[in-house]
């Protein structure tokens, strides 16, 4: 550092120290961002093992509808290893998605309306296959 000061003067040395601080702060922010990504991905991995969650077949139709309505948007198991995300209304979908009525099996009804699923009409072709 002494050679740097003698060649460029004291002002440039202060600027150099300031640049090192900015670089250190930037690296710290990037590190925190990467930690956030890591935590998000581990949360997604935890959700993928969902069979222990609420199940529509264990509820009555009224209970399942109430559960989705109160939660706004929730994942609900529908029997076996099948599950999907159900929402109260479009406000729980992404901007480009629309809602499609959702019916699930419950303890008392074979096809119970519980709310909606979010679909992307450009991909799902309106839900038709």
Instruction: Give 72-86 as a DSSP string.
Output: SEEEEEEETTEEEEE
Contacts of 22 (CB under 8 A, 6+ apart): none
* Structural contact between residues 99 and 89, judged by C-beta atoms closer than 8 angstroms: yes
Chain segment 28-78, per-residue pLDDT in tens: 444 444 444 444 443 333 343 455 679 999 999 999 999 999 999 999 999
**Separation between Cα atoms, residue 31 and residue 36, nearest integer Å:** 9
The Cβ of residue 87 has, within 10 Å, a number of other Cβ atoms equal to: 22
> Can you tell me whether residue 67 is helix, strand or coil?
helix
Strand 82-87's sheet: what is its strand order? Answer: 73-79, 82-87, 112-119, 98-104
Tell me the pLDDT band of 104, cut-offs 50, 70 and 90.
very high
**Separation between Cα atoms, residue 53 and residue 74, nearest integer Å:** 10
Contacts of 117 (CB under 8 A, 6+ apart): 84, 85, 86, 87, 99, 100, 102
Q: Which residue has the higher pLDDT, 47 or 10?
A: 10
């Amino acid at each position: 550092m002494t050679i740097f000061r003698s060649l460029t003067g004291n002002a440039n040395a202060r600027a150099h120290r300031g640049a090192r601080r900015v670089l250190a702060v930037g690296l710290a922010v990037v590190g925190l961002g990467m930690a956030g990504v890591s935590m998000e991905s581990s949360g997604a991995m935890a959700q993928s093992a969902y069979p222990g969650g609420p199940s529509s077949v264990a509820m009555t139709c009224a209970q399942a509808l109430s559960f989705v309505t109160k939660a706004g948007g929730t994942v609900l198991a529908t029997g076996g290893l099948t599950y999907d995300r159900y929402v109260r209304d479009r406000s729980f979908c992404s901007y480009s998605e629309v809602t499609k009525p959702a019916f699930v099996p419950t303890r008392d009804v074979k096809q119970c309306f519980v709310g909606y699923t979010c679909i992307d009409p450009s991909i799902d072709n309106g839900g038709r296959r």
